[in-house]
């Protein structure tokens, strides 16, 4: 996803010189094509994320479209006060890009685990929160946030996520993408777990469980119409996210379902527990530890699948 992002941003910067990229002395091996091609639109502020965000806000208030870029939680939680007060309060045209969302830097421990960011940033007034599920979505999301006025958060994976969508998929901020349809169960997924959701759905189809898969790439604003349609048209809804179950995609969908006057369906959030993990390892290992692998998700789905099958 990060390769698709920087390639797309480099293309767009040639057409719009307002686009600037500001980094916190990280991202080398990825950002060089942009820096070399547009040195006057690139700035490395050093290991100083608060300054990075303040500088970006000032540039944006001077008419620039500014992307801040760093890994894991450094461009988000480390400089949260500056995001809130400098960017969001002034509705500045700053696009915050985090690479390695969730457990992407799992082997580096909890200081590099990005597992509360969506919950915190979606609570900020004016912030748009986008979590692409594959390289196609990453490219289209980059183009979309350039055109979207005001603050945006773009959470990217870094682990060579496979392509799910055809190149011409219809991508609009705030509108979910139906990856596959079904009437028994609806899996709503974001980020790298979109591919996992597709794998789970394919296995369930062999058991006769027709599973709808929605890519909810925009968590704020949420596509409430797609959520409520799933509540009307499927027998159960499950959310999948590499993020704490508190405050992220699952919470956003739960809020929508709870406030709806429409039909109520069984609902389950699958994600990370709201704890600091003592486990250290690669992303794949940690996903398996927290039942976010294909096998782990299938196991977690057993109780809700029993309900689905009983409604037939």
pLDDT above 80: residue 96:
yes
The tens digit of pLDDT for each residue in 131-140 reads 999 999 999 9
Closest of 129, 181, 178 to residue 156, by C-alpha: 129
Residue 307 — pLDDT band, cuts 50, 70, 90? confident
Dump pLDDT digits (tens) for 52-91.
999 999 999 999 999 999 998 999 999 999 999 999 999 9
Q: Distance between CA 262 and CA 90 in Å, rounded? A: 37
Tell me the sheet residues that pair with 189.
215, 240
Cα–Cα nearest to 133, from 206, 71, 218, 201: 218
Prediction pTM value: 0.96
pLDDT at 154: 98
For residues 251-274, average pLDDT: 96
> Distance from CA of residue 171 to its chain's centroid?
14
Residue 131: closest CA among 90, 174, 89: 174
Say which residue, 156 or 30, is predicted with more confidence: 156
* Residue 6's pLDDT band (cuts 50, 70, 90): very high
- Evaluate whether 179 touches 172 at the Cβ level (below 8 Å): no
What mean pLDDT do residues 260-279 have? 93
Residue 141 has what pLDDT? Answer: 98
Q: Which one, of 210, 192, 208, lies nearest residue 156 by Cα?
A: 192
Note the pLDDT tens digit of each residue in 147-196: 999 999 999 998 788 999 998 899 999 999 999 999 999 999 999 999 99
Cβ-based neighbours of 56, under 8 Å, separated by 6 or more: 20, 22, 66, 67, 68, 87, 92, 94
Q: What is the pLDDT of residue 137?
A: 97
d(CA 196, CA 205): 14
> What band does 250 get if pLDDT is binned at 50, 70 and 90?
very high
Task: Domains for the chain: give ranges and CATH numbers.
Answer: 2-156 (3.40.50.970), 177-310 (3.40.50.920)
> What pLDDT sits at residue 41?
97
């Amino acid at each position: 996803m990060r390769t698709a992002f920087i390639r797309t941003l480099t293309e767009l910067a040639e057409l719009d010189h307002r686009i600037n990229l500001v980094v916190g002395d990280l991202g080398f091996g990825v950002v060089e094509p942009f820096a070399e091609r547009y040195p006057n639109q690139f700035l490395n502020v050093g290991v100083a994320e608060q300054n990075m965000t303040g500088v970006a806000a000032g540039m944006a208030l001077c008419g620039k479209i500014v992307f801040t870029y760093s890994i894991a939680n450094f461009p988000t939680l480390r400089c949260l006060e500056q995001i809130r007060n400098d960017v969001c309060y002034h509705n500045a045209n700053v696009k915050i890009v985090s690479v390695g969302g969730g457990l992407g830097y799992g082997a580096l421990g909890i200081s590099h685990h990005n597992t509360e960011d969506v919950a915190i940033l979606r609570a900020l007034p004016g912030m748009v929160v986008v979590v692409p599920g594959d390289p196609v979505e990453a490219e289209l999301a980059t183009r979309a946030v350039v055109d979207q006025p005001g603050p945006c958060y773009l959470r990217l994976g870094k682990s060579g996520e496979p392509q799910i969508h055809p190149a011409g998929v219809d991508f609009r901020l705030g509108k979910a993408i139906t990856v596959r349809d079904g009437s028994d169960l609806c899996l709503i997924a974001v980020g790298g777990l979109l591919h996992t959701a597709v794998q789970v759905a394919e296995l369930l189809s062999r058991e006769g469980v027709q599973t709808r898969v929605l890519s909810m790439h925009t968590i704020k604003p949420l596509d409430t119409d797609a959520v409520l349609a799933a509540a009307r048209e499927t027998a159960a809804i499950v959310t999948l996210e590499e993020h704490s179950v508190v405050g992220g995609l699952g919470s956003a969908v739960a809020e929508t379902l709870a406030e709806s006057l429409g039909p109520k369906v069984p609902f389950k959030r699958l994600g990370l527990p709201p704890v600091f993990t003592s486990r250290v390892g690669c992303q794949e290992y940690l996903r398996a530890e927290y039942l976010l692998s294909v096998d782990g998700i299938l196991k977690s789905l057993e109780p809700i699948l029993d309900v689905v099958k009983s409604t037939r």
